[in-house]
């Protein structure tokens, strides 16, 4: 009996406190309620003054906000907590890379473009090299093409791991962040072994790749292939069924197929709406028509489907990498053309001609016939294109990169509209923008 | 494909059908540009891959199909059909003295950012664009950096609130 009375007393006192809190609120203070039954609307902050007719508020998110993945700034118009209109404002990272590209030779150009999308540098180099080679009209040895495919698929994995990590971080799952970076490191160490660098590799160059794969690469790649699928299962069991993750992603940031296509949104965002549009399948480049893989599509076009599409794409990438290891032929890793590829280093000391070629290639560069071409590949973020104009000299007359993130950001206002401001973080994260590529 | 060809022939729009990708390259005049883009959208090119501009200041006598008068600027639009996976390219010539062209925002809303980028870096105006402002450069920047007559490495760098005394 005594216990029950005590509880009653406690509840009574807490009710008394509630009333007191409401009474204590004075005109000037707008503060959050201390008792859970109070909502902000209970506090009449404007008491005594006239209620303004402006019901919306415009606030800036970014460019220093940590969950905007760089220096993205978004102007949000809010009504209460609901986002009405929004506008991405970019350009904080603009470094004039397209202009720089006009001043660098074709041989130097891949050093420039690799810094655009710094999470998938090999894909940038690939699209630049493909554009140059289309203008040159050269055909690569098979091994070079397979090496390119291997590297670009591994890069898709590392980029998606990075996305899983940052997305987990944005949604409050710190363990996902740690796991994502751990797995990415495994791939980056293979990149370091092959290309010499963890990022900004300058490995895929016009005419082939910079170096052959290191000895024992099969074991390294297969070790990665063996390690990743069980880890993906772990992520799946950790996130996919987790109520908190569901609450934050299901039905958040919805975009339809029609909207996505009209807004030139590509990649996992478009596929999450149910459209099986993947350039690796639709307009195959390299040897993607010789490997078996599935194009992953979602259904609802929300943040959860984008997560699911990326997670399953990683499984498909592992499948592709295993096939590449099986099919990798022997042969040259770059085209045997003295005018395009530098001679082997050992030849420079013994052959005058090799020395001249080496000198000419690294000072003047090779000349590319006049023409213009648009090539596109499927980068981890969507359609990555390169429009290149040559005027017959050794430098591109115009080099334009179609960054997938740049166009995907146009879809952001549609995805944010009608959602809560708290969900804005989840939506921006699910769009996976890389600002280095947006601003170029 | 045939219907779009007869449309171009009726409108006297010059086009090419090369054997390489893209299989269709269209050279409309400035006046017929918007109409040509609309027609391409109706025949199935539903996705605008890319829009960019080139400044041909140093190459006024470049090779173009017969009947196309070369101008200083060229706007290039790359379209793709997400159904048939075919590509098409539109190249429209824009004169130096009056760098204005219709915006295709009403056909492909996704070009909003792309057209702003061209306006910012190349100085081509798009008639009918909802918000034609600078996108990458600071709002008070002078000049259009991707033009070929824009000086490289100009010093001092124009940033607002730069203190010259330092």
A402/B47 CB distance under 8 A = no
Which residue out of B41, B107, B110 would a mutagenesis test of the A interface target, given it has the greatest number of A Cβ atoms within 10 Å? Answer: B110
A22-26, A240-244, A254-258, A306-310: the lowest-pLDDT one: A22-26
A387/B52 CB distance under 8 A = yes
Name every residue whose Cβ is closer than 8 Å to that of residue A254 and which is 6 or more positions away in sequence.
Answer: A300, A301, A302, A415
Q: What is the pLDDT of residues A119-134, one digit of tens each?
A: 999 999 999 999 999 9
Provide the 10 A C-beta neighbour count for residue B97. 7
Instruction: Give A266's contacts in chain B (Cβ within 8 Å).
Output: 47
Q: Of B120, B55, B92, which Cα lies nearest the Cα of A391?
A: B55
Mean pLDDT in residue range A361-382: 90
Q: Between A264, A282, A391, which is nearest B110 by CB?
A: A264
Question: How many angstroms separate the CA of residue A139 from the nearest CA in chain B?
Answer: 15
DSSP output for A100-119: HHHHS-HHHHHHHHTTTSTT
Question: How many angstroms separate the CA of residue A263 from the nearest CA in chain B?
Answer: 4
- Residue B58, chain A, CB below 8 Å: the answer is yes
Instruction: Give A264's contacts in chain B (Cβ within 8 Å).
Output: 47-49, 108, 110-111, 114
Mean pLDDT in residue range A413-429: 87
A277/B112 CB distance under 8 A = no
Q: What is the reported pLDDT for B156?
A: 59
Going by the DSSP 8-state scheme, the letter that residue B75 receives in this structure is E
Instruction: Give A410's contacts in chain B (Cβ within 8 Å).
Output: 109-110, 112-113
- Tell me the pLDDT band of B161, cut-offs 50, 70 and 90: low
Instruction: Give B83's contacts in chain A (Cβ within 8 Å).
Output: none
- Residue B141, chain A, CB below 8 Å: the answer is no
Going by the DSSP 8-state scheme, the letter that residue A385 receives in this structure is E
Instruction: Give A391's contacts in chain B (Cβ within 8 Å).
Output: 58-59, 62
> Does A435 or B8 have the greater pLDDT score?
A435
Q: What is the reported pLDDT for A412?
A: 87
- Residue B49, chain A, CB below 8 Å: the answer is yes
Written as six digits, the tokens of B46 are 């539903």
Q: Is the pLDDT of residue A194 over 50?
A: yes
- Tell me the pLDDT band of A155, cut-offs 50, 70 and 90: very high
Q: What is the reported pLDDT for B65?
A: 85
Provide the 10 A C-beta neighbour count for residue A7. 9
Q: Is the pLDDT of residue A231 over 70?
A: yes
**A with B: how many residue pairs have Cβ under 8 Å apart?**
92
A370/B138 CB distance under 8 A = no
Q: What is the reported pLDDT for A191?
A: 92
- Residue B78, chain A, CB below 8 Å: the answer is yes
Q: What is the reported pLDDT for A399?
A: 92
Q: Of B45, B55, B10, B42, which Cα lies nearest the Cα of B25?
A: B45
Between strands A398-402 and A82-89, the pairing is unpaired
Q: Is the pLDDT of residue A375 over 90?
A: yes
- Residue B54, chain A, CB below 8 Å: the answer is yes
Q: Is the pLDDT of residue A15 over 80?
A: no
Instruction: Give B80's contacts in chain A (Cβ within 8 Å).
Output: 283
- Residue B96, chain A, CB below 8 Å: the answer is no
- Tell me the pLDDT band of B134, cut-offs 50, 70 and 90: confident
Q: Is the pLDDT of residue A214 over 60?
A: yes
Residue ranges of domains in chain A? 1-53, 97-418
Q: What is the pLDDT of residues A382-408, one digit of tens each?
A: 999 999 999 888 899 999 999 999 999
Quick one: closest CA in B to A377, which residue?
A: B49
B76/A275 CB distance under 8 A = no
Mean pLDDT in residue range A54-68: 77
Beta-strand ranges (E) seen in A98-245 are: 204-205, 208-209
B22/A398 CB distance under 8 A = no
- Could you give all domains of chain B from N- to C-terminal order, each with its CATH number? 2-127 (3.30.460.80)
Question: How many angstroms separate the CA of residue A282 from the nearest CA in chain B?
Answer: 6
- b/e map of A235-258 (b: 16 or more CB within 10 Å)? beeebeeeeebeebbeebbbbebe
Mean pLDDT of all residues in chain A? 82
Going by the DSSP 8-state scheme, the letter that residue A60 receives in this structure is E
- ipTM of the complex in this document: 0.88
Q: What is the reported pLDDT for A30?
A: 31
Largest CA distance in chain A: 105
Quick one: closest CA in A to B107, which residue?
A: A262
- Residue A319, chain B, CB below 8 Å: the answer is no
For B89, half-sphere exposure in the C-beta direction (CA atoms, 13 angstrom radius) is 19
> Does A346 or B47 have the greater pLDDT score?
B47
To which residue do tokens 């034609």 refer? Answer: B132
Q: Of A24, A68, A56, which Cα lies nearest the Cα of A42?
A: A24
Q: What is the reported pLDDT for B157?
A: 61
B111/A264 CB distance under 8 A = yes
Mean pLDDT of all residues in chain B? 84
Instruction: State which fold the A97-418 domain adopts.
Output: Cytochrome-c3 Hydrogenase; chain B (1.10.645)
Q: What percent of chain A has pLDDT over 70?
A: 88
Written as six digits, the tokens of A362 are 């690294």
């Amino acid at each position: 009996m005594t216990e029950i009375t005590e509880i009653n007393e406690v509840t009574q006192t807490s009710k008394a406190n509630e009333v007191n809190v409401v009474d204590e609120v004075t005109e000037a203070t707008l503060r959050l309620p201390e008792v859970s039954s109070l909502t902000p609307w209970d506090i009449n902050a404007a008491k005594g003054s006239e209620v303004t007719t402006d019901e919306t508020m415009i606030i800036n998110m970014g460019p220093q906000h940590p969950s905007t993945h760089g220096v993205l700034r978004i102007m949000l118009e809010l009504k209460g907590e609901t986002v009405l209109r929004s506008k991405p404002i970019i350009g904080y990272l603009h470094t004039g890379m397209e202009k720089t590209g006009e001043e660098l030779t074709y041989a130097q150009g891949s050093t420039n473009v690799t810094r655009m999308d710094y999470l998938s540098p090999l894909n940038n180099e690939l699209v630049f090299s493909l554009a140059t080679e289309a203008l040159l009209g050269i055909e690569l040895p098979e091994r070079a093409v397979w090496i390119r495919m291997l590297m670009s698929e591994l890069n898709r994995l590392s980029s998606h791991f990075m996305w899983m990590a940052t997305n987990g971080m944005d949604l409050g799952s710190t363990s996902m962040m740690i796991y994502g970076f751990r797995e990415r490191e495994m791939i980056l160490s293979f990149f370091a072994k092959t290309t010499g660098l963890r990022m900004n590799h300058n490995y895929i160059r016009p005419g082939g790749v910079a170096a052959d794969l290191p000895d024992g690469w099969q074991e390294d790649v297969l070790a990665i292939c063996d390690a990743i699928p069980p880890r993906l299962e772990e992520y799946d069991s950790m996130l996919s069924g987790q109520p908190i993750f569901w609450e934050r992603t299901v039905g958040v940031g919805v975009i339809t197929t029609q909207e996505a296509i009209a807004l030139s949104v590509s990649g996992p965002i478009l596929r999450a709406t149910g459209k099986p549009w993947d350039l690796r399948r639709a307009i195959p480049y390299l040897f993607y028509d010789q490997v078996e893989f599935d194009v992953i599509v979602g259904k609802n076009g929300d943040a959860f489907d984008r997560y699911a599409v990326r997670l399953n794409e990683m499984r498909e990438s592992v499948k592709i990498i295993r096939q590449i290891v099986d099919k990798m032929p022997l042969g040259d890793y770059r085209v045997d053309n003295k005018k395009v590829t530098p001679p082997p280093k050992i030849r420079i000391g013994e052959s005058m001609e090799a020395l001249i070629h080496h000198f000419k290639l690294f000072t003047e560069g090779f000349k590319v016939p006049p023409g213009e071409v648009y090539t596109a590949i499927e980068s981890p973020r969507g359609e990555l294109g390169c429009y290149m104009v040559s005027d017959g000299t050794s430098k591109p007359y115009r080099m334009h990169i179609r960054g997938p993130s740049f166009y995907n950001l146009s879809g952001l206002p549609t995805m944010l509209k009608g959602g809560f401001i708290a969900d804005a973080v989840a939506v921006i994260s699910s769009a996976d923008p890389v600002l280095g590529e947006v601003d170029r | 494909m045939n219907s779009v060809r007869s449309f171009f022939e009726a409108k006297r729009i010059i086009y090419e059908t090369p054997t390489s990708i893209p299989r269709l390259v269209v050279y409309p005049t400035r006046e017929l540009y918007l109409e040509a883009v609309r027609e391409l959208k109706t025949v199935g090119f539903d996705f605008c891959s890319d829009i960019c501009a080139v400044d041909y200041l140093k190459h006024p006598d470049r090779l173009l199909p017969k009947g196309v008068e070369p101008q200083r600027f060229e706007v290039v639009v790359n379209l793709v059909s997400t159904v048939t996976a075919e590509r098409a390219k539109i190249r429209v010539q824009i004169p130096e003295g009056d760098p204005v062209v219709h915006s295709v925002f009403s056909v492909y809303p996704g070009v909003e950012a792309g057209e702003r980028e061209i306006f910012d870096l190349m100085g081509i105006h798009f008639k009918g664009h909802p918000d034609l402002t600078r996108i990458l450069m600071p709002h008070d920047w002078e000049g259009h950096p991707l033009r070929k007559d824009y000086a490289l490495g100009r010093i001092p760098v124009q940033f607002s609130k730069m203190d010259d005394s330092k």
